[in-house]
Each structure stands twice: as structure tokens, then as C-alpha cells.
Amino acid sequence: MADLSVDFAGIKSKNPFWLASGPPTNTGYQVQRAFEAGWGGAVWKTLGDPIVNVTSRFAGLHYNGQRVAGFNNIELITDRPLEVNLEEIYETKKKFPDRVIIASLMVEPEQEKWHEIVKRVEDVGVDGLELNFGCPHGMAERGMGSASGQVPELVEKQTYWAKEAAETPVIVKLTPNITDITATAYAAAQGGADAISLINTINSLMGIDLDTWNTIPNVAGKGTHGGYCGPAVKPIALNMVGECARQQDINLPISGIGGIENWKDAAEFMLMGATAVQVCTAAMHHGFRIVEDMIDGLSNYLDGKGLSSVTALIGQSVPKYMDWGDLDLNHRVVAHINNDTCINCNKCYIACEDGAHQCIERVTDECGRSLLKVREEDCVGCNLCSVVCPVDGAIDMIEKPGEKPMTWNERQVLLNTL
């Protein structure tokens, strides 16, 4: 069985699966149950001055029969006294000394407040700190969360303040609600961060009730923007992780977050540069025991690949992720329809005719059957037909011999020399 243990910024974890800061890590009872299920670590629900939460506060996006394809919340940080949380952290760490406990922290951007809370949580034995610069609602209106996380200077300054007092590794959690996440990742590095985690939730409004015209969720008929997460945000998170991983001037370990709900998602994040991953929405939807399938699935995958350790995955796809201008303009693929598998639903024909390049036509074979065929000379290899096809294996994208590879950047250099 492959070794699933990781070393994340000096924090040793028996596997890369951690619970993210949120409702599943609100109490010692929950975190202990998660550890019993097999989670390698947990980021405790964000600590700070206790607040008052509202109801209702959650909403789900259900799409084509799938429950919770996306998730939205307007919940804030812990509403329990700091002393109670600290006592439960201490007891949980004592009971599970081999599991990772990270304290998520959020206070006003003042040096003394950061020093105070860092010392208090470290006194109860946490393995590391995660600075929450990401929440887009509630706390942001008070100058915390993404209000700080969107300003590189504040990220750097507050990271530095936390590092002044910290004896354990400091992880900076980044907000995706920004034009260029590498700017704040770089600021975290300049502030002395030991690692970064991303992404936090995306600013969002889940929907409107067409009967009442209320927002979803609503509080006594009033609504506000919330944080979006769940499977739907995975592509956004994966891109941002990759962008940070490929920047040599950042060069920090990454904890990947955003839409992860199975071992395949986790493997993708690790291939794109994450050392460990955090899960929240999937645990809320399916329960803590999903980690059992994650552990088994990742172990089997590594065994199948002949890899002895999960660390062999980390960053392997990063060199393949680059700017558009560095892609080969001369590379060519075309669609091929396998008529033995095709069910003649005409999805590909309609999509190509109305939304792409009109290169699929209806033909009649020697037996008089109506078939679909791709005119390869007109196919631009956009993949739309294979994307909309409901039958696996009915449409293949076939690579064709092309001209000598040439990127846009190389083309521009060549044109400038003519």
C-alpha cells in the first residue's frame, strides 16, 4: 500500500486529507468524530471575537437532478466563546496526538490583536495557524476576511504580525475575489508565510425565489451576498492553485481547497501543486466517512501507477500549465464519430451546427442507414461534439500530423524579423 503521509510546511500528516475550516470543524465533538473516521487533520472553525449568526444561512444549487452541485453560505466565524474552543482544541489534540489541528484565525488588522490570539491558540497545542483572509461576507464589512485579503499590503503586514508571535507554521488562506490571486500569494510570501491555502469562497448570490421574490437564503425577507463553494467551484480553484504553483517568486507549499469531494479531485489538486487538500462542503453533504473512500481510492490509484508515495504526485502537472501564448498553434485534432456506438441522438450535430463550425453532416451508408460523419477538413478540433455527447466512446478526438510546432510568441518573433 502506498504511503499517504505528507509533510506540509513542516507539519507531518498521516494523509493529505484535512477538513477545512467551517461548520464541520465547529466543535471538539465533530473534529474527534472526523479523526475517528480517518481524516489526517482539521482546520478548526475560524476563531476570533465571537459573533452572532443569522438564520437561515445556507443554500444549495441543484442542477439536473444533482443535489448541491454548488453551495452558498452567509455564516460567519465561530459564535462560541474563545475559551470554550481552546479547551476543546486542547482535549482533542490530547486524544489524537497523531492528527493535525490547525487554528483558523481572524481578527482586526491590528498588531496587538494578532499577537494575542496567536499566543493563546498556540498555548493549547495546535500544529499550525491559518490566517483567514478570505471570507467575502459579514466579516469583510467589518474590515476583516476578504476586505484584508484583497489588499496585498494588508496581507503582507498581517502575515508579518502573526509570524512575529508564532512558533508554529503560518498558513495564509487566500480569497478568490480578486483579479490576480498571485499578487496576494506573493504578498503572503513577502510577509514570511510558511504556506498558503486556497481558495476561500467566491462572492455570490445563490438565487431568487420566484414566488416570494426573496433572495435565497433570506433572513426575515432580506438577503445578502454569501460565499460560494462545492463541486461547481473546483475548476476555478484548480486554476488558482496552478497559477500560484507555477510562480517561482511565491514558492510556498499549497493546501488546495475548492470543490474536492473524492480522491480523484484530490489527486488533481496535488498534481497541480498542492501538498495537502482541505474538504468542507462534501463533508457537510455526505458526512465524515467519505474520507474512507478517499483514502482507499488514492491508495489504489498510486498502487496502479507504481508509486510508493503520494508525494510523487505533487506538482507533476505544473510544468504543463502555461500561458496561452506558449501553446502550439500547429497542433491538430479532429473529431471522429464511432457509428457502432453512436445512438443517433443528434446532440453533436445540433451543437456543431448551431454552436460551432458546421462540420458534421448526415450521410447514408450502403445499407441505407442514416449516419453522422465529420468532415475532417472543416473540423477545428474544438471538442464541443465530444463534450455534449451522452455516450462514452461515441466520439473520439483524433490527433493528426501537423506542421512543425509553433507558439504564438514564436510566431510574433518570426513576423518581427521579416
The reply to whether 74 falls in a domain is: yes
Q: Are residues 280 and 362 in the same domain?
A: no
Q: For the beta carbon of residue 260, count every other beta carbon within 10 angstroms.
A: 29
Q: What is the pLDDT of residue 207?
A: 97
Domain boundary among 320, 350, 382: 320
Domain co-membership, 298 together with 392:
no
Asked if 16 and 310 touch (Cβ cutoff 8 Å), the reply is yes
Q: 1 in a domain, yes or no?
A: no
The reply to whether 337 and 307 lie within a common domain is no
Domain shared by 315 and 366, yes or no = no
Cβ pair 407, 328 in contact under 8 A: yes
Q: Which domain does 162 fall in, by range?
A: 6-320
80 and 170 within one domain: yes
Look at residue 418 in the predicted model and tell me its pLDDT.
77
Residues 281 and 356 in one domain: no
User: Which residue of the set 135, 229, 348, 389 is catalytic?
Assistant: 135
Asked if residue 237 and residue 291 are part of one domain, the reply reads yes
Q: Are residues 10 and 131 in the same domain?
A: yes
In a shared domain, residues 75 and 175: yes
Give the pLDDT of residue 414: 86
Q: Is residue 356 part of a domain?
A: yes
At 37 the pLDDT is 98
Could you report the per-residue pLDDT of 245-279, keeping only the tens digit for each? 999 999 999 999 999 999 999 999 999 999 999 99
CATH of the domain at 183: 3.20.20.70
Same domain assignment for residues 281 and 330: no
pLDDT for position 76: 95
Predicted confidence at residue 365, as pLDDT, reads: 87
Q: Please say whether the beta carbons of 15 and 293 come within 8 A.
A: no
Residues of the chain falling short of pLDDT 70: none
pLDDT of res. 111: 98
Q: Whole-model pTM?
A: 0.96
Task: Say how far apart CA 181 and CA 185 lie, in whole Å.
Answer: 6
- Annotated catalytic residue 229: no
Q: Are residues 329 and 275 in the same domain?
A: no
Distance CA(147)–CA(143), nearest Å, equals 5
> Final residue of a domain: which of 320, 352, 374?
320
Residue 166 lies in a domain: yes
Pick the last residue of a domain from 272, 287, 320. Answer: 320
Residue 331: CATH number of its domain: 3.30.70.20
Asked if residue 115 and residue 19 are part of one domain, the reply reads yes
Q: Is residue 373 situated within a structural domain?
A: yes
The β-bridge partners of 222 are 219
Among all chains, which residue has been given the C-alpha cell 444533482?
66
Give the count of domains, the chain.
Answer: 2
